[in-house]
Amino acid sequence: MDPTTRAKSLPKPERVKRRIWLHVHFWIGWISGIPIAVVCLTGAILAFSENITHWEYPELFQIEASGPRLSIAQVLHAYENAEPRYQVNHLGIPESPNHAYKAYCVQLHPEGRRNMQVYCNPYTGELTSMVGKFSIVGLVTKIHRNLVGAKVGQSIVALSSLLLAITCIFGLMLWVPLRARTFARVWKRGGALDWHNALGLIAMLPLILMALTGITFTWGRQIFHVLDRIRGAHSGLEAPVVHVSAGAIKMPFQDVADRVGALLPGNRITGVQPSNSARSPIVFFMDGERSNLSVYMDPYTGEVLRKADGSEMGIVGW
């Protein structure tokens, strides 16, 4: 039976209720449609962000080998001895020998501190700052996250994402009474409404997941707090505090890195968070065959303080 005919055959109260839900579904879809379309388009582009960045900056990702690669310790030394010097908060370790190291840094300038991305040539130690450089990926990321509208744009994206999840649920409620032969109608007749229903069903679950997880960019702290209260435990992974004895001196960084490699021979180091204070650990990010690990190391003794794979964070980590 045709969906419209089936809808007319429903009792009057059911038809009135359905008409109300249909209008709610329609108008929420229209209100959230434009920003969501922009977010979806830019998200599709960002799925290839790595390829775009490699094409955009060949001087950073098509480097010719000119001898042995610098060690992690030597790369960190290059940042520390720059003028003005950089404090590295996270250093990305490339797998390809032709790619530069990538660091998220704080530039310690007499006029103030400034956050930036700085790349390091793996053979010469030459540093390349991305400050003031146009980036296609950077622009698309800003559009995707906040429509280039700072906090206001970020709130619009988050609210539109929430409305998207709601209208998907309303669409499911509208579909249930007329659910029979949804895909058969597309095959036999292929009307616009038939395609709308079928494609909506296919995309509904991933759209709801993307919408609800996407709003954590804006309301993450509040959402995680509520989830923690439901769970009855704190989900945040706090770094262990290093206990420093009197007169203790930090080990050479490379010695600690070598020890991590020996302890986890099946894992590759993909990133490092150096110990930038007396009581903070060195964090090694490892890419293994089964899971990604964060390994917290004591910078004074080289002992493992904690291993984490995200499972201890519960629903927030998931």
pLDDT digits (tens, 9 = 90+) for 40-78: 899 999 999 999 999 999 999 999 988 899 999 999 999
4 pLDDT more than 60 = no
The rounded distance, in Å, linking the Cα atoms of 170 and 23 is 10
| Tokens encoding 119 | 């790349």
pLDDT one-digit tens code per residue, 222-239:
777 777 777 666 666 677
Whether 143 contacts 49, CB under 8 Å:
no
| Tokens (6 digits) for 53 | 């960045």
pLDDT more than 90, % of the chain: 42
Local confidence band at 317 (pLDDT 50, 70, 90 cut-offs) = low
- The answer on pLDDT for 299 being more than 60 is yes
Contacts of 76 (CB under 8 A, 6+ apart): 88, 91, 253, 272, 274
What pTM did the predictor assign?
A: 0.77
In this structure, what is the dihedral angle of CA atoms 70, 73, 78, 82, given to the nearest 10 degrees? Answer: 170
Q: What's the token pair of residue 44?
A: 């599709």
Q: pLDDT for 169-210, tens place per residue?
A: 888 877 777 666 777 777 777 777 778 878 888 888 888 888
CA distance 299 to 277: 10
CA torsion, ordered 173, 174, 179, 183, to nearest 10 deg: -110
- Average pLDDT value for the chain: 85
- Which position has the higher pLDDT, 227 or 212? 212
Instruction: Please report the pLDDT score of residue 258 as a whole number.
Output: 93
Nearest CA to 272 among 137, 49, 91?
91
Could you tell me which of 169, 159, 174 has the C-alpha nearest to residue 20? 174
* Termini Cα distance of the chain: 43
**What pLDDT does residue 122 have?**
96
What are the tens digits of pLDDT across the range 11-35?
Answer: 666 667 777 877 788 888 888 888 9
Would you state the pLDDT for residue 33? 86
Is 80 exceeded by the pLDDT of residue 155? yes
SS3 293: strand
DSSP string spanning 236-257?
--PPPPPP--TT--PPPHHHHH
Please tell me the least confidently modeled range out of 80-84, 110-114, 204-208.
110-114
Q: Average pLDDT of 122-148? A: 92
Closest to 313 measured CA to CA, from 239, 210, 233? 233
Question: Per-domain residue ranges for the chain?
Answer: 3-46+139-231, 72-122, 253-317
Q: What is the mean pLDDT of residues 84-105?
A: 94
Q: Is the pLDDT of residue 142 over 80?
A: yes
